[in-house]
Amino acid sequence: MIKMKTVFLPVARPTFDVETANIYFEQSKQLLNKLVDCSISPDALLMSPEDTARFIRDAVQGGPVDAVIVQSTTFVDARFIIEIMDATDAPILLWGVREPRVNGTRLSLNSMTGINNLSNSIVARRRKFALLFGNPQEAELAAELHAQLKVVRLMQQLKQLKIGVIGSQPDGFLFSHADPDMLAKLGPQLIELNLQDVFAKAAEVPEQEVQLALQTAAGQVKGLSLLPEEGVVKFSRFQTALLHEIRRLGISMVAVRCWPEFFTEYGAAACSTVSSLIESGVMASCEADIHGAITMYIQHQLAQNAPYLGDLVHIDESKDSGVFWHCGAGAFSLARADTGAVAGLHPNRKLGFTLEFGLKAGEVSVNRLGPDPFKPGAYRMLMLSGEALDEPQKFWGTSVEVGFGQPIVPLMKKLMLQGFEPHYSIVYANINKEVGMLCDWLDVEKNPL
């Protein structure tokens, strides 16, 4: 069940088949009560613009509304939707139902003309809306309504998010940057934290908290005791200090500058902190990649699974597959069952601790949100589907081989010719339909490849 507040507005006229309209109305209320934890519905069909205006105004006086579901249960004129739009700026889900009888007799409901009329007025007002069509007892309609409600809730969450940027992007990592003014179109707010300050706070973490974090990690990752103790303890200290800052500032996700200072000044690898945060439900990107973190957050909210952020480092034409890799970051639960998550040292810096494993097999979605280079000031979203293959770890660090079911060389060339960022976010679920819905609401260009 989705935690959100919706208002259901079944609008109708008494000159149509009210008996059938009431059946649809009751079934629709029952469906909404199964999908969301707070659905405000009238006791009867709203038969006039005046009734509709009174009901919606009373509903919104009780506090902010996440979505308004307007069902043109019969044909209605545009005055109904004008009253609704005047009363609230909440996202509108416009819902039409099927004709109950097509037998050469009376047009019973004329709902389709109703949603056509209402959509005309919504677009004229330049308001965003989603369109649903089908009866409340249809499984496909219920699934689409559920998906739209999830997406609307996510859109509202994005407007309230704070992203902690821990240090600046490494030199030359232009794709990791985000323009705050452009980001405001999506909603998230950037909160900048000084990396040196977090290092200093890490040194002050009480020993009891250090040991607690170590015990938690030891229960999730194999081989910690085999690594130099200093690097493991520094992981515990930094992660604990950063979590304190996340809670204090109300931060929802972080983008961490993981090199070079982490190695040269702190003497440890950030990979384990990034991995542990993702495992706990706080999305975290390395190399201070802001849009990478947002992409991960979107995937996590839609799939309720931990995502993986990786570079495309290798392709195999024989399998039409690509290998995504990073030097030691990955949520512990993504590891193959036969190996589990194993602790290691950074492949280049030889400092700990990092993660060493190949990712598990399964259906995946590959996404990337970022500025659209062909439309200045706008965003775009990569939308790819694939299958994480049952393959062992390909390189030191963490990696996953994804088969795409299409020729891999042309796909790789498209990604680069279209200028996509080298960090791709992968999640174990088929969420691209919902991602597309979110793009429609946010005016983000969809890029299904």
The pLDDT of residue 185: 86
Distance CA 337, CA 316 (A): 24
Domain spans, the chain: 2-158, 162-448
pLDDT digits (tens, 9 = 90+) for 367-405: 999 999 999 999 999 999 999 999 999 999 999 999 999
pLDDT digits (tens, 9 = 90+) for 34-70: 999 999 999 999 999 999 999 999 999 988 999 999 9
Torsion angle, alpha carbons of 397, 197, 265, 357, to 10: -10
pLDDT at 350 over 90: no
The pLDDT of residue 62: 83
Same fold across 2-158 and 162-448: no
Residue 378 CB partners (closer than 8 Å, separation 6+): 371, 372, 443, 444, 445
pLDDT at 259 over 90: no
Report pTM: 0.96
pLDDT digits (tens, 9 = 90+) for 89-122: 999 999 999 999 988 888 999 999 999 999 999 9
How far is CA 4 from each of CA 42, 155, 169, 359, rounded to the nearest angstrom? Answer: 18, 12, 36, 34
- Tell me if 70 sits within 8 A of 118, measured CB to CB: yes
pLDDT digits (tens, 9 = 90+) for 184-200: 889 999 999 999 999 99
- pLDDT, the chain, mean: 96
pLDDT at 319 over 90: yes
Q: Is the peptide bond before 16 cis (omega within 30 degrees of 0)?
A: no
Give me the half-sphere count of Cα atoms (radius 13 Å) on the Cβ side of residue 350.
Answer: 0
The CATH number of 2-158 is which of 3.90.10.10, 3.40.50.150, 3.20.20.70, 3.40.50.10940?
3.40.50.10940
Question: Is it true that domain 162-448 has CATH number 3.40.50?
Answer: no
